[in-house]
Amino acid sequence: MVRKIEEISAVVFDLDGLLLESEQVWSEVKRELSLGRGGRWSEAAETDMLGMSSTEWTAYMREELGVAMEPSEISEAVADALADRYRAGLPLITGANGAVRELAGRYPLGLASSSNRGTIDLVLELAGWSACFSATTSSEEVAAGKPSPDVYLETVRRLGVEADSCVAIEDSGAGISSAVAAGLAVVAIPNRAYPPDGKVLARADLVLRSIEELAAALP
């Protein structure tokens, strides 16, 4: 059970790697664009950009990978390619739909994501989740992406609640660090492809094996 909270005011979900099996899709799209525009790619690039906001990873692709496009053009091209893939088949993680719908009936839900605003809205539309979330925030709407606390702080502000009465659901090291820094209790469901560092994972209040265990783990 997560650390004792008198009454949970809201539950705030991450998106990529938690509700969607999408981290690999983002990497594939970025890789294709980088190599297609004369840039470079490496395993380090794949992990470096995890948790970055669109402002941060577009600058990284231009400056570190040598993609000869303006950051706004990189962001638009990646978002468009990702949208095409999502419309062809949204990669929902098994149990995600049930968890979102059940918890939406018990708590106000927020979403704190590193995805672009347009991508978040498209996912909610395709999954039929638009009415499930009371507040959503893209890290491109705040000063810094995860592991900075900004995206969680803005989400709880939009929800109109206090951070220390909320529970964050996260899969990555950057996400766990972000939620902890913002003062939320954290349930970690480690991403199998990009597992968080053990020291970071130890900062979570509860660790689950899958999102299918989530609803029963919250009071």
User: Quick one: pLDDT band at residue 23, thresholds 50, 70, 90?
Assistant: confident
| Average pLDDT value for the chain | 94
Query: In CATH, what number is assigned to the domain containing residue 45?
Result: 1.10.150
The half-sphere exposure of 199 on its side-chain side, counting CA atoms within 13 A, is 0
Q: Tell me whether residue 40 is in a domain.
A: yes
Q: Tell me whether residue 5 is in a domain.
A: no
Give the alpha-carbon dihedral of 85, 88, 90, 94, to 10 degrees. Answer: -120
Residues 193 and 113 in one domain: yes
Q: Tell me whether residue 4 is in a domain.
A: no
Residues 48 and 148 in one domain: no
**What was the pLDDT predicted at 1?**
64
Q: Tell me whether residue 115 is in a domain.
A: yes
Residues 158 and 123 in one domain: yes
Q: Tell me whether residue 207 is in a domain.
A: yes
Query: In CATH, what number is assigned to the domain containing residue 157?
Result: 3.40.50.1000
pTM passes above 0.85: yes
Residues 111 and 141 in one domain: yes
User: In the numeric block, which tokens belong to residue 120?
Assistant: 């978040």
Q: Tell me whether residue 1 is in a domain.
A: no
Q: Tell me whether residue 146 is in a domain.
A: yes
> How many domains is the chain partitioned into structurally?
2
Residues 112 and 70 in one domain: no
Nearest to 98 by CA among 137, 134, 132, 138: 132
> Quick one: average pLDDT of 204-215?
96
Quote the domain boundaries for residue 106.
10-21+91-217
